[in-house]
Structure 1
Amino acid sequence: MRIGVLTSGGDAPGMNAAIRAIVRTAIFNKIEVYGINRGFAGLLEEDITPMSVYSVADILQRGGTILRTSRSEFFATDAGVKKGAEVLAEYGIDHLIVIGGDGSTKGAAALKKLGVSVIVIPGTIDNDMGCSDNSIGFDTAVTTALDAISKIRDTTSAHNRINIVQVMGRKCGDIALYAGLSGGAEALILPEVKTDIDAICERLLQGKDRGKLHSIVMLAEGCGNYMDYCVKIEERTQVTTRGTNLGYIQRGGSPSNADRNLACFMGYNAVMNIIRKTTGCVIVQRCGSYLGIPLEEALQMKKIFRQDIYEMASVLSI
């Protein structure tokens, strides 16, 4: 038996831990493993390399992905998917494991329709896949944002300012939500909640009247640019307002304990599912357990916004 593994889309801390788990679990069970470099683009270009136990030595703690990643416009076409399936057959790869987000899952589903045996492992810092409680990289991204908030709060307090911290999250505001909760942000601006800038400013001024010397506002990138909000908030509150965009800092760095464990469990279970002949699925974490959800079903599951956590964050930040 021969397995191929690739990482696709945006990189996420913990992808290397998942690659390591896949390779070592496969080799332990006498299965050959091939690494496909640069995602689906590398598959189309036949950038494929055999992997060994030593290929994944000393990568558990490393961010990014040793297989590198990319986005392929050609693979999104019927001709691209067909060529991908042909390359897999040419190399004798019986099963493909894809580590990535929603777009990568759609690519895997397209290959499945052509008869390719595929398994997906959720790897995206946005945590926007509705099928799994957590995706690889999310916890590290929140931890990175929280560390930044702590540092920003020091200087914000020294200058009696409002600071807007912009984090990633186009359609899903989980990074802003969870980092804001644990970082004690005074306000959250998320894609899932209609933004009322006047209400936010009123809340900030109420805090100031109670003696707060500074405020942090968490902004998910899907709601706009922090610089625009700086202007709006400063105009309404007359308090000096600055902003920080954490950008790609959130994607880098050594993965957290939670992400390493999540990646190990998902990588191991992906290979075990192949051995059990249960493919065509996404390996998900649900209430502490690891399950294989059919690809088509997983793609239909919408991300459920945690309104209860949003409300709790609002209460705790008064």
Structure 2
Amino acid sequence: MAKDKIKRIAVFTSGGDAPGMNAAIRAVVRTAAYHDLHIFGIHNGYEGMIDGDLRRLDIRDVGNIIYRGGTILKTARSKRFMTPEGRRSAYEALQAFDVDACVAIGGDGTFTGAKVFSEEYDIPIIGIPGTIDNDLFGTDYTIGYDTAVNTAVQAVDKIRDTADSHNRLFFVEVMGRNSGFIALATGIASGAGNVVIPEVDTSLEHLIELLRLGVKRKKMFGIIVVAEGHKLGPTTEVAQKVQEAIDFYDTKVTIIGHMQRGGSPSALDRLLASRLGFGAVEGLLAGESNKMIGLVNNEVVFTPFGEAISNSKTPNRNLVRMAEILAI
């Protein structure tokens, strides 16, 4: 769709929330206002799109939200949007508001739906990567990742005090069902004794051997950061097996959980969200469609949804090796 054909844009958040989503919404709204476009916010993601839950936004609606976690537009996962009937209802709702294009903020599930929808109804959509997992191909960082890592590092720093005081070994589980980005960064930044992530095969025997070496070196406490999707089994069971094999430590488990998804976004996430929100609107006006906007080597790039979804993105192996060496 040509630039002069786009007059009304809708923005929505979908899937899991991530710190910085509000900063992205703010950038989209203000950039649209600069270009004299009408901008609508869709509440509750694809569910709200199907129900026609849209309202006009202006720059006053996004004042003082750049520092807020969560999303003012709310978010939801939608089974109805997975059906042709649901997408038809969503399209009709957008037509009722004369919406010409959309900005979707979310992760791979959001972009999977956006790809199908854009192809079925020829509506331009640009996706902004908003997920703490940082697992989307086509961008070095996703919105929310940096804040999630900072939250996890702060938690590990506090746990270290207790570990040191009681000669304890802590397994600290962070989010990352299929991705070890948060765990790896948290482990390195917090000086953890080991990191266990889904992308790297680690045996329980190898982990126990490393811990025994630590005991020989009179290492009085330990912290192991694990991604929730690691392959050794439930973290509590792994900790129990380690306790049975090594009685030197009092072994504990801490699961940080959804704390990582909340809180005020970091400066880096606010900057990233602002750049991508601004770039999404400018990209639509330049004719980009059915693509995710991202930042690669500090430059804005557009990656087709199909590539962003299907291509894998894994942690840097040099960082994995470095984490092992620095944990000695």
Q: So what's the TM-score if we normalise by structure 1?
A: 0.98
Tell me the amino acid that sits aligned with residue 18 of structure 1.
A
Q: Deviations over 1:58-77 (max 9, x none)?
A: 00000000000000111111
Offset of 1:211 from its aligned partner?
A: 2.2
Tell me if structure 1 keeps the 8 A contact 2:118–2:290: yes
* Aligned-CA RMSD value: 1.0
Tell me if structure 1 keeps the 8 A contact 2:199–2:314: no
Task: Give the Cα separation in 2 of the matches to 1:291 and 1:183.
Answer: 32
2:301 counterpart of 1:305: no
Tell me the amino acid that sits aligned with residue 65 of structure 2.
I
1:258 aligned residue: 268
Tell me if structure 2 keeps the 8 A contact 1:99–1:120: yes
Task: Give the Cα separation in 1 of the matches to 2:48 and 2:235.
Answer: 36
Task: Give the Cα separation in 2 of the matches to 1:241 and 1:150.
Answer: 17
Task: Number of aligned residue pairs: give it.
Answer: 318
Tell me the amino acid that sits aligned with residue 19 of structure 2.
P
Tell me the amino acid that sits aligned with residue 274 of structure 1.
L
1:76 aligned residue: 82
Offset of 1:296 from its aligned partner?
A: 2.2
Offset of 1:304 from its aligned partner?
A: 2.8
Offset of 1:225 from its aligned partner?
A: 2.9
Task: Give the Cα separation in 2 of the matches to 1:163 and 1:246.
Answer: 12
Tell me if structure 2 keeps the 8 A contact 1:39–1:70: yes
Tell me the amino acid that sits aligned with residue 89 of structure 1.
Q
Offset of 1:193 from its aligned partner?
A: 1.2
Offset of 1:247 from its aligned partner?
A: 0.6
Moved more, 265-274 or 82-91: 82-91
1:150 aligned residue: 157
Calculate percent identity across the aligned residue pairs.
Answer: 42
Q: Deviations over 1:172-194 (max 9, x none)?
A: 11100110011111111111111
Could you tell me which runs of 5 or more consecutive residues in structure 2 were left unpaired when the two chains were aligned. Answer: 1-6
Tell me the amino acid that sits aligned with residue 126 of structure 1.
D
Offset of 1:160 from its aligned partner?
A: 0.4
2:193 counterpart of 1:193: no
2:316 counterpart of 1:316: no
Task: Give the Cα separation in 2 of the matches to 1:296 and 1:243.
Answer: 38
2:229 aligned residue: 222
Q: Deviations over 1:131-188 (max 9, x none)?
A: 2111000000000000000000000000001000001101111100110011111111
Q: Deviations over 1:101-122 (max 9, x none)?
A: 0000001001111211101000
Which of 265, 269, 290 is the equivalent residue of 2:300? 290
Task: Give the Cα separation in 2 of the matches to 1:74 and 1:292.
Answer: 28
1:243 aligned residue: 253
2:242 aligned residue: 233
Tell me the amino acid that sits aligned with residue 236 of structure 2.
M
Q: Deviations over 1:39-79 (max 9, x none)?
A: 00111111111101111010000000000000011111122
2:280 counterpart of 1:270: yes
Task: Give the Cα separation in 2 of the matches to 1:262 and 1:301.
Answer: 22
Task: Give the Cα separation in 1 of the matches to 2:198 and 2:307.
Answer: 24
2:30 counterpart of 1:24: yes
- Secondary structure at 1:92's aligned position in 2? coil
- Secondary structure at 2:280's aligned position in 1? helix
Task: Give the Cα separation in 2 of the matches to 1:219 and 1:297.
Answer: 28
2:8 counterpart of 1:2: yes
Task: Give the Cα separation in 2 of the matches to 1:290 and 1:99.
Answer: 16
Tell me if structure 2 keeps the 8 A contact 1:119–1:283: yes
1:128 aligned residue: 135
Moved more, 116-125 or 269-278: 269-278
Task: Give the Cα separation in 1 of the matches to 2:133 and 2:60.
Answer: 31
Q: So what's the TM-score if we normalise by structure 2?
A: 0.95
- Secondary structure at 2:10's aligned position in 1? strand
Give runs of aligned pairs for residues 43-58 of structure 1, distance below 5 A. Answer: 43-58=49-64
Which of 188, 202, 209 is the equivalent residue of 2:209? 202
Task: Give the Cα separation in 2 of the matches to 1:125 and 1:85.
Answer: 29
Which of 107, 115, 118 is the equivalent residue of 2:113? 107
Which aligned runs of 4 or more in structure 1 are off by greater than 4 angstroms? none
- Secondary structure at 1:222's aligned position in 2? coil
Offset of 1:198 from its aligned partner?
A: 1.3
- Secondary structure at 2:229's aligned position in 1? helix
Tell me the amino acid that sits aligned with residue 227 of structure 2.
A
Offset of 1:81 from its aligned partner?
A: 1.7
